[in-house]
Amino acid sequence: MMNKGNDIAKELEEIVPGLHLPPTPPFEVPAGYFNQLPEQVLQRIRSLEAETVEEELSALSPLLSAAPRQLPLSAPEGYFDGLSTRIMAGISQEQDTPAPARVVPIRSRRRYRLWAVAASLLALLGLSTLFLLRNNNGAGSFEAQLAGVPDQAILEYLQSHSDAFDREAILANVSGVEDVADELPKISTNLDDLPAEEIQQYLESAEWPN
Amino acid sequence: MALTQDDRALLALYRLPDTRERGFTAIIQKYQERLYWHIRRLVIDHEDANDVLQNVFIKVWKNLEGFREDAQLFTWLYKIATNECLTFLEQQKRKSSVSLSDIETGLSNKLRADSQFDANKLEWKLQKAILSLPEKQRVVFNLRYYDEMPYEEMSRVLETSEGALKASYHHAVKKIEEFIRNG
């Protein structure tokens, strides 16, 4: 096994003082490995250079090369005699049999039903929301509800749910915050680059309409 | 490698509607034994080999129309047979929900169930040793050792580089030798 030189050990001590790494790796080589290696390599070369399967095998394993290359298994007597007839009969039978009706697995129908139920619920929810919004369309009511939402919740929602397109749409549509829209580009053109503290500070310092 | 003259004539028979079945019967008769033994060595049991072999020829019948004549028919048949064997062994594994080593044990049991089985004879020891190899290495060993298939052809059957096949055969031989010596 190779030992690390003193210089290497000193260098290591200078880099990481007191580490004292073991000088040799914990690997072991099988007994006699290096004695056998040259013969193994030559054997491999001889097998690569062999021209026939037999030469290759005798280079790789004289034991196997000397063994009888006879399969001890046997097929039933006369098996091959009528084989082609039996196979052709099978093919004819398959061709004569009408294709089976398409089987729709129960699971997929169940899944289809689940999707139908989910879609109906979504449609119902959408219609209810629309109905409620139409009935409570007073701007005061919506703004009063919005005022009740804590700034932190709005901030967290915007950070996790909005992208550049949403931000442009929000700034373009929310009335009374045109000055905010003017100020934002001075701070940063991308909200993702802003630290949360900076947004929090801005929200706290700005005057929001009630 | 181009199609042999004999295979070209058989395919010509197959392609004419009037002689289609006669041509296909001749193809079966020409290749049935070689394919049977290739399959049998991998699945061990005769009944399993018979099922797989018949499936192979039915697949060949269905796909022979699309066979390109720039390849060897034999290579193409071997490819289908090998894939069918590997699929069969995979299905066996799934059916019994057991590990690969249990499948090997199952194949060893089938080997022992053979009426001619003799644990002391070298040819049976060799079969047991072959079964200890991973499936694809087993295919490589069998194709080389029993069928004496050139690596170039094997490369087309198994869609693997010749270098990888040579290395695989080398490792297989070494493992088998060790198995026999220690077994």
From chain B, pick out residues whose CB is under 8 angstroms from the CB of A69: 145-146
From chain A, pick out residues whose CB is under 8 angstroms from the CB of B170: 44, 47, 60
SS3 A170: helix
Predicted ipTM of the assembly: 0.75
Residues B125, B119 contacting (CB under 8 angstroms): yes
Cα–Cα distances in angstroms (integers) from residue B121 to residues A72, B48, B127, in the given order: 10, 25, 10
pLDDT at A69: 83
Is the confidence at residue A91, as pLDDT, over 60? yes
Percentage with pLDDT > 70 across chain A: 55
Domains B1-97 and B99-183 in one fold: no
Cβ contact B41–A72 (<8 Å) = no
Cα atoms in the 13 Å half-sphere on the side-chain side of A135: 6
pLDDT along chain B (183 residues), means of 10: 85 93 93 94 93 94 88 94 95 71 73 83 89 94 94 95 95 93 83
A100 to chain B, closest Cα gap in Å: 18
Residue whose C-alpha is closest to residue B24's, from B69, B57, B68: B57
A28 to chain B, closest Cα gap in Å: 21
CA angle B89, B93, B96 (to 5 degrees): 135
Residues A65, A57 contacting (CB under 8 angstroms): yes
pLDDT at A202: 67
The DSSP secondary-structure symbol of B148 reads -
Residue with tokens 């009935």: A135
Instruction: Give pTM, 2 decimals.
Output: 0.60
The DSSP secondary-structure symbol of B121 reads S
Cβ contact B180–A63 (<8 Å) = yes
Residue whose C-alpha is closest to residue B30's, from B47, B67, B5: B5
Q: How far is CA A88 from the centre of its chain?
A: 47
Residues B18, B61 contacting (CB under 8 angstroms): no
Cα–Cα distances in angstroms (integers) from residue B73 to residues A6, A61, B157, in the given order: 67, 32, 11
Fold of B99-183: Arc Repressor Mutant, subunit A (1.10.10)
Q: How far apart are the first and last CA of chain A?
A: 81
- pLDDT band at A120, cuts 50/70/90? confident
The pLDDT of A16-41, averaged and rounded, is: 75
- pLDDT band at A200, cuts 50/70/90? confident
N residues, chain B: 183
pLDDT at A128: 73
| Separation between Cα atoms, residue B73 and residue A31, nearest integer Å | 49
| Separation between Cα atoms, residue A44 and residue A38, nearest integer Å | 10
| Separation between Cα atoms, residue A96 and residue A99, nearest integer Å | 9
**Rg for chain B, CA atoms, rounded:** 18
User: In chain A, what are the domain boundaries?
Assistant: 35-62, 149-205
User: In chain B, what are the domain boundaries?
Assistant: 1-97, 99-183
Residue with tokens 């995979």: B90
N residues, chain A: 210
- pLDDT band at A18, cuts 50/70/90? confident
Q: Which option is the CATH number for B1-97: 1.10.1740.10, 3.40.109.10, 1.10.3720.10, 3.40.50.300?
A: 1.10.1740.10
Nearest to B148 among A44, A53, A79 (CB): A53
Q: Three-class SS string for A12-34?
A: HHHHCCCCCCCCCCCCCCCCCHH
pLDDT, tens digit, for every residue of A135-193?
Answer: 655 555 666 776 777 777 776 666 655 554 455 455 555 544 444 444 444 444 455 66
The pLDDT of A35-58, averaged and rounded, is: 82
pLDDT at B16: 93
Cβ contact B114–A72 (<8 Å) = yes
Residues B22, A85 contacting (CB under 8 angstroms): no
